[in-house]
Amino acid sequence: MKIKKNKFVIVSFLIIIGGFILNFGQKKIFAKSVSEIPQEYMRKPISYTKSSEIKPYPQGMSAKKDKIVVLLKKQRAYLIRGRKTRYEFYVSTGAHNSTPKGHFRINTYRAPWFYSASEKMGARFAVGWLQGGLYLFHENPRNIHHKLIKKVANKLGKKSTSHGCIHLSTSDANWFYQKAPTGLRVIIK
């Protein structure tokens, strides 16, 4: 009986040590709430063209396992799977509370480029999340000549500037456009 007990203790010890070795150097972010996410991966200063984080993008997204949580007051969006935050985005949401709050899903609307003559701006990498293409995730706005509107882009992650859409950096918008599946949950609060 003593030998079995010692084997159990040794095996348990090796499993624990093995777990530490496998996780050594990997920064796992388990958040009880979105507000508890560490900031060490965030790009400083904020860039409206580069990725929000300095680490590589996650491998992809799953409509069943992942969700996007947008915090209007913080001007941040989070890609979350279970309790793990997989990526954090700098965003600019709707000025004057024009971004609807609630639970939504990424829909089938996708556009590599759009332009609104009434707003005198457009953007690349548009992904719809409400009313077809009325509310979108997209890069910072551009003029009719496809030039970034820098006075709006410079406010990314700092101030709400849109007409209700969610602005992302160019790199983040391109990745989101390619990876966000139809049906992905979007929670805006």
Closest by CA to 32, choosing from 103, 91, 89, 85, is 85
Q: What residues have CB less than 8 Å from 131, skipping those under 6 apart?
A: none
Establish whether 165 is a catalytic residue: yes
Which one of 96, 103, 138, 163 is the catalytic residue? 138
CA quadruple 187, 96, 172, 35: dihedral sign: negative
Tally of residues, the chain: 189
CA–CA distance, 5 with 24 (Å, rounded to integer): 29
Pairing of strands 166-168, 135-139: parallel
Query: From CA 42, how far away is CA 59, in angstroms rounded?
Result: 18
Catalytic residue flag (residue 163): no
The conformation of residue 163, written as its DSSP 8-state character, comes to: S
Q: Which residues belong to the active site? A: 138, 165
